[in-house]
Chains A and B, each alone.
Chain A
């Protein structure tokens, strides 16, 4: 089995959803990736929340994102049983870094600074979740 096949093999559980995050997951079901931006201070943040973590304003709004960015860092979890997988942070072009998995790639060639693009991966009984693959 190649590393590429292994990267795609890990099953992702359904994400926990609450009232605050529901609009994000509803959009994800339609294949749209949303981030939150604050109208008071202008900054985008991740993970999405009602109050801006920078200025504590409630003037945050959902914004569609193309889901493009670069790998800030990553680690490959080596499994002797089950699939090895890569987890790391992507710095979105809008500014915030987000935790994610890297898929559809040769884990041995992942690199910090590499450009990546979002795709949605199915979960076990929940909405699809954002993951990234080399752009």
Chain B
């Protein structure tokens, strides 16, 4: 069974808040839900499917469904793949809708890492860090997201000659887009030289290679074709989705120069029946600059090892380069709510397909877009999710 054409994006909402001093995390989830329902023109009692991940407080879906008073839910899913969860949830929602399990699926993400002084993975509360099978052999070494992505960058540079200047171009492109976003955490356009002059955080990554830490969240509504037809919104059809896990797998033949996107990407493109050349706009998870570079290669926008040359010289800047990416400013400049950027990747892709992106960054005739992410850590265990959407 394919989900191609079996589900649509009905509504999206990105919380404008970046510093949530006065809100609770459940409240932010509810505000995001309300925003996405209003965008779709649906009401709470239309929701019969609910999707959330490790950032949902308490007993996850159970707590949030009860808190929001979602009384019609007959399908739920709290698959946890870190920041990519919400891209994966859209695919799962499309599958559930195609199978008749629900017709209006709500996906929410929210949290307040700035108030809790949290970097880290933003949730993943499941069993506690010391219960993970690898815990005794890995948690002792002080690994953080910064170093576990820094290791990928160091190896990529070693094998392919990728440079810090090339990585910096990814941040530069994001900053060119963020200048037009009133809600962006960082709105200043930066240069390659400024990125390289920012302090090293985890070698070879500089501070400006890292995403922002923001409070807030977002929500997406996925609907059946019948519901989509009843909505007074541009129709954004889901045409392909795929997911894949990757880890060190026993340590033999460790290769940190590629992500699980190398598997989810081709599968999603095959389902959609399109190729990277057909894509007009790309939302690419950008926890760090290296995250973008590796995923662009893995998705097939360029050959493995060519990512550095591909992203250089403004090739990712809307109106300038060949592949406009993260036109909201992305996690690098705009928003990385709860240290989990997946949902904002879906939201900006939907804005582009609807023609509702900021006019300065709107891609002309944007009829095919990709939203792709990896969650967890590229340097160890992560889950990739790829979503391809079409303007009908």
Contacts and interface: CB of A to CB of B under 8 A. Distances in A.
Interface in B246-261: 248-252, 254, 256
A46 B154 CA distance: 22
Interface of A: 10, 12-13, 15-18, 20-21, 25, 43-49, 52-54, 72-78, 85, 87-89, 91-92, 95-101, 112-113, 123, 129
B142 A101 contact: yes
Contacts of B23: none
A98 B147 CA distance: 15
A97 B154 contact: no
Interface of B: 130-131, 133-144, 146-148, 150-155, 158, 199-205, 248-252, 254, 256, 380
Given A87-B147, A89-B151, A43 B142 contact: no
5 closest Cβ pairs, A-B complex = A96-B251, A75-B150, A45-B250, A53-B250, A47-B137
16 contacts: A13-B140, A16-B131, A16-B139, A20-B133, A43-B250, A46-B251, A47-B138, A47-B251, A72-B254, A77-B146, A77-B150, A78-B203, A87-B147, A97-B251, A97-B252, A113-B158
A13 to B, nearest CB: 6
B136 A18 contact: yes
B154 A74 contact: yes
Nearest to A78: B200
B254 A15 contact: no
Q: Give the secondary structure class of B's interface.
A: helix
A76 B202 CA distance: 5
A95 B135 CA distance: 21
A49 B150 CA distance: 27
Contacts of A44: 252
Contacts of B134: 47
Contacts of B202: 75-78
B141 A87 contact: yes
A73 B154 contact: yes
Given A54-B252, A87-B143, A96-B250, A21 B137 contact: yes
